[in-house]
Amino acid sequence: MIELGPEGPEDLWEVEALYDLCFAPGREALSSYRLRDGVAPVAGLCLVAREDGVVAGAIRYWPVRVGTDAALLLGPVAVHPTHQGEGLGGWLIRESLARARALGWSRVMLVGDAPYYRRFGFARLEGVDMPPPTNPARVLGLALEPGAWDGVSGAVTRAAS
């Protein structure tokens, strides 16, 4: 049985190994990683799924600014290849979004594939500029409260640490 819980300091290396396994070499060179440098993830939203004590999936969130407005940056989210196709990634996303809403966050963004993330309510963000070389078509957002993205635009920058 898979159990979901908050990521703790003791999970760091196992979660990083999962991300290394699931993503291409050089993942830390992506522009989204520049937004994470020197900024702590949002602890209450970083989750780990374990089966028999072994990490099967993980998700992290980071605080960012879009212009002058606060937002969450979702990512990375990964599922071990032995558990892909079981709905674990969707569970991690839905559960963490529910927790973000409960914690009072109003908007979430990510860089990802629109056809996959559309099922969770994400849509392309216009006027939100991720650091280059991000493809603008992959910059997606979700309002956790009605209208949360209305009028929000500008450069995405690191939150103050």
Alpha carbon dihedral 124, 85, 15, 48, in 10-degree steps, equals 90
In the chain, where the domains are located: 2-158
CA dist 55 and 15 (Å) reads 7
Residues of the chain where predicted confidence (pLDDT) is lower than 70: 25-30, 33, 161
Q: What is the pLDDT of residue 161?
A: 59
Q: What is the pLDDT of residue 23?
A: 84
pTM listed for this prediction:
0.93
Q: What is the pLDDT of residue 109?
A: 97
Q: What is the pLDDT of residue 85?
A: 94
- CATH 3.40.630.30 corresponds to the domain 2-158: yes
Q: What is the pLDDT of residue 133?
A: 87
Q: What is the pLDDT of residue 33?
A: 66
Q: What is the pLDDT of residue 126?
A: 95
